[in-house]
Amino acid sequence: MIQRVCNHSAILVVGAALGAAIVAGWHGATTVPQARATATHGSDNFAIATGLVDDNVEALYFLDFLTGDLRAAIVNRRTAQFTAFFQHNVLADFDTIGEQPKFLMVTGLASIPRGSGPTQIGKSLIYVAEASSGQVAAYALPYNSTLQAGGAPQRGGFIKVAQGSFRTVFVRDP
């Protein structure tokens, strides 16, 4: 009798372990990892980039080299229209640039405290570099997820998070 109970208990334990392994393997086989990519492109007078603002929400960033205007626009998920617009002039943030600045712009994920409430810092930072001076500034986008969810428009400016220089000597074009 005792042997029969032990055999049934052993079969039950082995069956539970085997079932758990099958379920875990099935879940891993059916879960597809998400790929996230940002894009950046530039020409002689402007640069354009994308970056995450919130889960499944990206911003389109545009930097005009001639005016120094950094702009962002966000498509609303509900209305499929641009409803959020942000702007900041970066020329004032770079103190030793020449007459014709040469900017570079990229975005990167930000793992900084986003705050609480409806307005939070976006999940990406926007890095703007001036090639002649070697100066770099990082900007964040204050984003209101409540307005986004409701399809309401929003406007604002960028927040300068950090600034520094990667070159010790100013380089002038000949």
pLDDT at 43: 77
CA distance readout (Å), 87 to 43, 103, 133, 140, 157:
20, 17, 23, 11, 5
173 pLDDT more than 70: no
Residue, of 144 and 167, whose pLDDT is higher = 144
pLDDT tens per residue across span 82-132: 999 999 999 989 877 777 788 999 999 887 776 666 678 888 999 999 988
Task: Give the pLDDT band of residue 23 (cuts 50, 70, 90).
Answer: low
Edge-first strand listing for the sheet containing 159-165: 103-109, 119-130, 135-144, 159-165
Token match 């020449």: residue? 98
**Taking Cα atoms as reference points, which of 170, 163, 106, 94 lies closest to residue 132?**
170
C-alpha count within 13 angstroms, C-beta hemisphere, residue 85 = 5
Residue 138 in this model has a pLDDT that exceeds 90: yes
Indicate if the pLDDT at residue 16 is higher than 70. Answer: no
> Using 50, 70 and 90 to split pLDDT, how confident is the model at 73?
very high
Closest CA to 132 of 97, 95, 86: 97
How confident is the model at residue 19, as a pLDDT? 65
Task: Give the model's confidence band at 166: pLDDT under 50 very low, under 70 low, under 90 confident, else very high.
Answer: confident
* pLDDT tens digits, 29-65: 555 555 555 677 777 889 999 999 888 889 999 999 9
Question: What pLDDT shows up at residue 64?
Answer: 95
Q: What's the rounded Cα separation, in Å, for the pair 134 and 86?
A: 25
**pLDDT reported for residue 150:** 85
Q: pLDDT tier at 140 (50, 70, 90 boundaries)?
A: very high
Tell me the β-bridge partners of 125: 108, 140
